[in-house]
Structure 1
């Protein structure tokens, strides 16, 4: 008898209320957000209680869930007020909190009963005994450490029935999950209390330091400045492994990314899940189009993290980029007049008459056209270039588009082809 496969949820980041709504519209089954306390993204657009309530109402109307990340490591006194805070989240209707610190877990469990607790990846859960430990304490889900291999994930699933959440796309930490203090040393900002300055992504130089002499940079003897940062993760090629091994939630990183990123990545992973559950052959037919779609958004180079091997130096970011997106996000549809065949769009980046653009929307809808009859929406004044973000514009569109559809400009990027062994770089313009 064929094994029945469970449908994993697509869990998308939502740094703002706008991103929350976009993520859900574009296929996310759940989103995770930050509140104004106890989180690890102090620079993200963290939610007030009022915004949380609006987000929860929107999510429920679309049969989705909202989780709140409260995954900081508490120092003495940081936990004060946590009980009331968790109770407020519960009463607002938050589906679960994502926590790593045992003190916050204990406070939430005792003072906000009924609010589900998920173990954060910051707690570094890497084996099934650890998952069993947290399950006995009443947690409903564990977010695996990003260092877990696919073989280990398979073994973990065989020995526990607790829900498993695993990262499938986004930034990787160069340090062990939840154990980095580089930012603390380099910028006096506590990475584990929401202040990470991402020191691993800075550019560093190498110096010769002869005793008693001035230091001398050896920059120039290496092709590019060095960074300790890992390339981003992408598991779009390996969705079958995630589903077959019983992962309950596929997590996308990026609460500080744009609505272009959130909409595209959520839509792609939703499409991948739907395709594989329809049939392995269906998934194989669409897989390359999904990969191509992901490369239309701004991101670093991509790899599979620790799932299939230990990353080597080729999975770190240094030297010239080998590939960059070929599209630029330029706007979103606000309205469409079917009779006049005119779209009202809210501009996000420079757009001009004659640009080749692509509209895309939920359900993996894509249509292309050329910008024609560009004009200001307020007075229909014809213009040849719109440089100011958030301006409302009119353009002629010979097919129906839907409010909320996004617009990209194609052929707007450069592809860098870089050979690290020779240090030779060739730059070519992307084709429109």
Structure 2
């Protein structure tokens, strides 16, 4: 008898109301956001209660859910007012809060009954006994620590019925989830109370310190400055493993990233889930296109984190990059006149007459064309180059496009291809 597979939700990040709506339009089943208290992204576009209410209304209209991250570690006094804050989230219609601190969990459970609680990855849950502990306390979902392997995930799933949420894409912390204090020491910003300065991403000099002598920098004697920066995670190739092992939610990192990133990654993982649940053959046929799509928005190199073994030196950002994106986000469609085949676009980056561009939209739609008859929307004046962000432009298109479609410019740079076996790096120009 064939095993019945559960469809996992695609859970996307949203740092602003615009990103929330884009994520849902591009396939996210749920979105997680930050409020103006108790979160870990003090520099993200955290939501006011009014913005949350608008986001919930939009999500409800599209059969999606909104979760709020409240995963800071509280010090004395930080918990003041939390009960009223959680009740407000519940009354707005937030589907769940994502919490790590036991004090905040207790407050949410006792003072905002009916509001679902998910355990944050900051709590570093790595075994089924831990998941069962939190289930017995009333939590309905646990976000696994990023350090859990696929083998461990499989074992966890066999021994607990609590919902499992697992990271599938985005930035990786070089430290264990919720255990880093590097930022506290380097910049006096508390990583576990929303102030992480990402000290691990900095470049560090290396010194020779002979006893009794002045220190001597050896910069130039090594290929580059030292960092502790991990490559990003991408599990797009391994969606079958995650679905077969009963993961309930596929979590994408990146509340501070752009609508280009949010739309692309949400759309791609949604397509991957749909393809695999249709058939293994369908997934294998589309997998190369899914991988290529994610490279269009990659900010760092991509790998699988801890899922298939302990990361080695090739999973750190050191030395020449093996690959960089070939595309730049340049705009989105805000109107389309089917009678004249003219698209009105809101520009995000420089574009020029004759540029090769790609339109993409929900459902994994893609089509290429060349910018023709570029002009200002307000005056219809012809121009050769548009350089002012957020300006409205007109272009002629040979096919129908939809409001909300995004536009990329191809051929935007060089690619460094690194051969791990030989250690050689070859630089080639991206395709035009």
- What SS does structure 2 have at the residue aligned with 1:382? coil
**Quick check: 1:169–1:253 contact (8 Å CA) kept in 2?**
yes
> In 2, distance between residues paired with 1:366 and 1:69?
33
Deviation at 1:382, TM superposition (A): 0.6
Match of 2:259 in 1: 259
Match of 2:5 in 1: 5
Q: How does 1:152-231 map to 2 (within 5 A)?
A: 152-231=152-231
State the Cα deviation string for residues 27-74 of structure 1 (Å, max 9, x = none).
Answer: 000000000000000000000000000000000000000000000000
Match of 1:117 in 2: 117
Q: How does 1:88-99 map to 2 (within 5 A)?
A: 88-99=88-99
State the Cα deviation string for residues 201-260 of structure 1 (Å, max 9, x = none).
Answer: 000111001122221111122112221011100000000000000000000000001000
Q: How does 1:5-404 map to 2 (within 5 A)?
A: 5-404=5-404
> In 1, distance between residues paired with 2:414 and 2:105?
47
- What SS does structure 2 have at the residue aligned with 1:117? strand
State the Cα deviation string for residues 106-156 of structure 1 (Å, max 9, x = none).
Answer: 000000000000000000000000000000000000000000000100000
**Quick check: 1:67–1:97 contact (8 Å CA) kept in 2?**
yes
> In 1, distance between residues paired with 2:197 and 2:321?
22
> In 2, distance between residues paired with 1:305 and 1:377?
46
| TM-score, L = length of structure 2 | 0.99
CA 1:271/1:421 → structure 2, altered by over 3 Å: closer, same or farther? closer
- What SS does structure 2 have at the residue aligned with 1:256? coil
CA RMSD across the alignment: 1.1
> In 2, distance between residues paired with 1:222 and 1:426?
20
> In 1, distance between residues paired with 2:419 and 2:131?
43
Deviation at 1:424, TM superposition (A): 5.4
> In 2, distance between residues paired with 1:424 and 1:310?
24
Count how many residue pairs are aligned between Structure 1 and Structure 2.
432
Deviation at 1:413, TM superposition (A): 2.1
Deviation at 1:320, TM superposition (A): 2.4
> In 1, distance between residues paired with 2:134 and 2:233?
26
Deviation at 1:421, TM superposition (A): 8.3
> In 1, distance between residues paired with 2:341 and 2:121?
48
> In 2, distance between residues paired with 1:186 and 1:421?
36
> In 1, distance between residues paired with 2:389 and 2:206?
40
> In 1, distance between residues paired with 2:128 and 2:422?
45
| TM-score, L = length of structure 1 | 0.99
Match of 1:416 in 2: 416
State the Cα deviation string for residues 174-198 of structure 1 (Å, max 9, x = none).
Answer: 0000000000000000000000000
**Quick check: 1:333–1:343 contact (8 Å CA) kept in 2?**
yes
State the Cα deviation string for residues 292-328 of structure 1 (Å, max 9, x = none).
Answer: 0111114210100000100011101112221100000
- What SS does structure 2 have at the residue aligned with 1:91? helix
CA 1:238/1:424 → structure 2, altered by over 3 Å: closer, same or farther? closer
Unaligned runs of 5+ in 2: none
> In 2, distance between residues paired with 1:240 and 1:413?
33
- What SS does structure 1 have at the residue aligned with 2:154? helix
> In 1, distance between residues paired with 2:161 and 2:243?
15
- What SS does structure 2 have at the residue aligned with 1:59? helix
Unaligned runs of 5+ in 1: none
- What SS does structure 1 have at the residue aligned with 2:243? helix
- What SS does structure 2 have at the residue aligned with 1:399? coil
- What SS does structure 1 have at the residue aligned with 2:339? coil
